[in-house]
Chain A
Amino acid sequence: MHDREDEEVTAFVRARYGALLRTAFLLCGDRGKAEDLVQTTLAKTVVAWSRLQHSEGVDHYVRRVLVNTFVTWRRRRSWWEQPLGRLVETQARDEYVGVEQRDLLRRALDGLPARQRAAVVLRFYEDLSEQDTALVMGCSVGTVKSLSSRGLRTLRQQWVEADAVADQEVRYA
């Protein structure tokens, strides 16, 4: 019985790890934190696995845990602390435009509050409907609309500012 359950859990973890890691990366903006977030989320799912078998929507549950854990972590002071045991190196801007665009988007996402960021990622990366996003985030559809709208506005603003700075740097280089 336990062996069979273990097999199911392992299969589920393997199947969903990659996709969850990418979503977590968009939420955290850091690969190490994204791995930590996904592993914590899946560990919680494994503990609740027997209970989840009797209900539908394991994926929905996992997304919800992921977002809730991310929002909770962001509230902690430790989220903002960086280990200083190693040299902090900032990644140099890529000379290729595509890489630059990714860098700009990542910086813009980093500037969003946790819930706005979660709403944007769920709506425009996971392609969830407003209703599903509301279910995952545990809030109303109206709140999702509001968070998404504000998130998009902030992203656009930061994108435009970053573009302008980049243009100036190129112009005066």
Chain B
Amino acid sequence: MHDTTELRDGLADLAESVIPTTGYESKIMRRAERRRGRRRIAAGAAAAVCLAVLVTTFRVVGFGSTPQLAAPPPDGPFLSWSPVGDVDARLVREATGVWDRAGSTGPHTDVRALVATRHPRLRSTVVVLQAYDKQGDARLAFFTGDSGAADALRMRVDRPAPDPVKTQVISLVSPRLSGAAGEVSNDPAGTYAIALAMPGVTALRVSSTAVDDEIVQEPDGPTSRLVVKRLPIAATAQTTTIAGFVKPKRPFAGFTKMFEVPGEAGVDGDALAVPAEVIGRNGQQITVAFPKDQGVRRGQLAVVAEGLVGRVYAVDTVRGEATVDLVTSTGFSGQVYTNISNVPGFVRGTGGKLVMEGIPANGEVYRTNRVLMPDPSQQSDRAGAVTIGRAAADKVTGSTTVELTPAADLADLTSLSIMTPSTP
């Protein structure tokens, strides 16, 4: 074989001798059918393996059913939650004594402690007790130390015990938690929020719209069931939100929000929030319905968590309804000041916009600065002052006015709170 032509001829000659035998078609078809069957079995097995892998992944990685918060069986009318941290028996005895002496409801019996500890954030003691009063009613009380009296315990609030089945968190938000009874803190960041969640809650988050540029995000790690947070003096229960999260014990599982509720108030001296439903809207005013005999009066502020909605213009006590001037209405005006920098001024509505006027020429107001309006139901211009809006632009030097962007969404109102004094 010296060239490829010879090879080609040789190969052709060699192959030429091969002649097909009969019956090969059926053999090929049978082989094809067996191959199809094997393929089906392999595909089924692969699908089963994939399904098993997916299910296992979902179970391990954290997908799947939403976690549930299982409430422990109630302890009669009381929350049967286990105490947070170590319970200081001396603090429990001291708090019980204070509780017994605080009013005519003592002595208290069957006292159960939910918290009795010293908290570093409050720099004082926190005690939360449940007990029967002398009438046999189940009660819940919060106690904190008085920084002006060697941290002596003061009872801050005494409430009926909450529903032991449905309650997921109890809280107290007030600027009156660090000094003498009923006394507002002098600290610009003197409002404290105390929140205690039920067992099973992995992380507890306390946030307030009174905080500038607060980053409200999902928790990045577990927290205690007891959270004490220091907030600006303008923060109230109405502007505070408490959220509880659960993280399943699975790798890579994220936090799931189980509840989000407003804070609770009730300390002597705190303004009382009367809940109201929006039932009508007429141009620059809204009509709201509220429970009767709640002390709603003309001039009180109507608020939502984000800030001020308006001011009560007229009250129909018989029907339990009130007319509220929106902050952008021409009938609305009032004294305000900027948060932190305390630049004073007046606001008025223009029938669609909100303007801050009478600003000192040398006063500096910059875009997004928060503007607060004192609440007449509070005993202080600072405590519980409500955010009316934010500066829409930098104030021009020498100018005395700046436009504000209302803090509340006035176009989408369904319910609000009317702030009333603690003593009508």
Contact = CB atoms under 8 A, between A and B. Distances in A.
Interface of A: 10, 13-14, 17-18, 21-23, 25-26, 31, 34-35, 38-40, 42-44, 46-47, 98, 101-102, 105-106, 120-121, 124-125, 127, 152, 155-156, 159
Interface of B: 1-2, 4, 7-8, 10-21, 24-25, 27-29, 31-32, 34-36, 39
Contacts of A98: 13
Contacts of A47: 32, 35-36, 39
A17 B36 CA distance: 21
Question: Is chain A's binding surface mostly helix, strand, loop or mixed?
Answer: helix
A105 B14 contact: yes
A125 B12 contact: yes
Contacts of A43: 28-29, 31-32, 34-35
A91 to B, nearest CB: 12
Nearest to B31: A43
A40 B31 contact: yes
Contacts, number: 78
Given A43-B35, A152-B4, A13 B25 contact: yes
B interface: dominant SS: helix
26 contacts: A13-B25, A17-B24, A21-B18, A21-B20, A22-B18, A25-B14, A25-B15, A34-B18, A38-B24, A39-B28, A42-B28, A43-B28, A43-B31, A43-B32, A43-B34, A43-B35, A46-B28, A46-B32, A101-B13, A102-B10, A102-B13, A102-B14, A124-B11, A125-B8, A152-B7, A155-B1
A26 B32 contact: no
A140 to B, nearest CB: 21
A81 to B, nearest CB: 21
B405 to A, nearest CB: 61
A5 B1 CA distance: 46
Contacts of B4: 124, 152
A25 B34 CA distance: 24
Contact of A156 (B1, B11, B39): B1
Contacts of A34: 18
A47 B31 CA distance: 10
Contacts of A106: 14
Contact of A17 (B2, B20, B39): B20
A102 B15 CA distance: 9
B15 A22 contact: yes
A129 to B, nearest CB: 14
In the complex, the 8 A-B pairs of residues with the closest C-beta atoms, listed nearest first: A43-B31, A22-B15, A46-B32, A125-B11, A43-B32, A25-B18, A159-B1, A105-B10
A107 to B, nearest CB: 11
